[in-house]
Amino acid sequence: MDLDETVLDNSPYNGYLLLNGEGYNSESWEKWVDQTSAELVPGAIEFIQLAQNKGIEVLFISNRKESELESTIANLSIQGVQIDISKVFLRAESSEKKSRREQVKSNYRIIMLVGDNLADFAEEFESPLNITQRKALVDRYRQKFGNRFIILPNVMYGGWQKALREEDSAATHQKNKSGAKKFIKGF
């Protein structure tokens, strides 16, 4: 399982960014992480406990930095998710998750991946893809979604933002950091 927006709900951090007209930055993010006050995504604890009760090990592969390990474990524990440090794989140098999935595979048989971002599932999603390519790749993995790949919706951020930004012109991007404005359908 991924952590952010899969198990831990960081919407108060994103709310803070909106209220203050700021974009994501590691300084404010670390402040938020240190507060250990994230609540859980609805259903997360029930899912984790159900799996554990069936004798399934739940492991976490997250792009939180290794320096955030202690506060992350504390936050999860406050929310009733007790996990062993050896079950948490955070980001060391690179944000790519494939090598950590491989590491897990050397000791476990992975039966399911749960995340909110396409890069939580397969390495192909780590490469720079435009919207059309992302859609085609999702289509190629169609059989896996819903059983081996469980994706949770995250409208706040994700790999899709980068794809939108690249589709948008650099000039628009200057005025609109998320690059999403052009693609928003309003009434």
Q: Which is nearer to Mg ion, 8 or 164 (CB)?
A: 8
146: Cα separation from own chain's centroid? 17
What tokens were used for 142? Answer: 């169609």
Q: Would you say 4 or 129 has its CB closer to Mg ion?
A: 4
Structure tokens at 163: 């794809």
User: What residue is closest to Mg ion based on CB?
Assistant: 4
Residues within window 104-133 making contact with Mg ion, judged by CB under 5 A: 116
Asked whether 112 and 148 are in contact (CB, 8 A), the reply is: yes
Minimum gap (Å) between residue 38 Cβ and Mg ion: 12
Q: Is 68 in the site for Mg ion (CB under 5 A)?
A: no
Torsion of CA 172, 64, 117, 82, to 10 degrees: -150
Q: How many residues form the binding site for Mg ion (CB under 5 A)?
A: 4
CB of 1 to Mg ion, least distance (A): 9
Least spacing, CB of residue 40 vs Mg ion, in Å: 13
Compute the least distance from the CB of residue 28 to Mg ion, in Å: 18
Site for Mg ion in 2-21 (CB under 5 A): 2, 4-5
Q: What amino acid occupies position 175?
A: K
Q: Which is nearer to Mg ion, 95 or 172 (CB)?
A: 95
Neighbouring residues of 97: CB distance < 8 A, sequence distance ≥ 6: 61, 63, 119, 120, 123, 126
CB of 6 to Mg ion, least distance (A): 5
Contact present, 4 and 62 (Cβ < 8 Å): yes
Q: Which is nearer to Mg ion, 71 or 173 (CB)?
A: 71
How many helices (H) and strands (E) would you count in the chain? 8, 6
Looking at the Cβ atoms of 37 and 172, the one nearer to Mg ion is 37
**Two structure tokens written together for 27:** 């300084």
Q: Which helix (H) or strand (E) holds 91?
A: strand 88-91
Q: Interface residues with Mg ion (CB under 5 A)?
A: 2, 4-5, 116
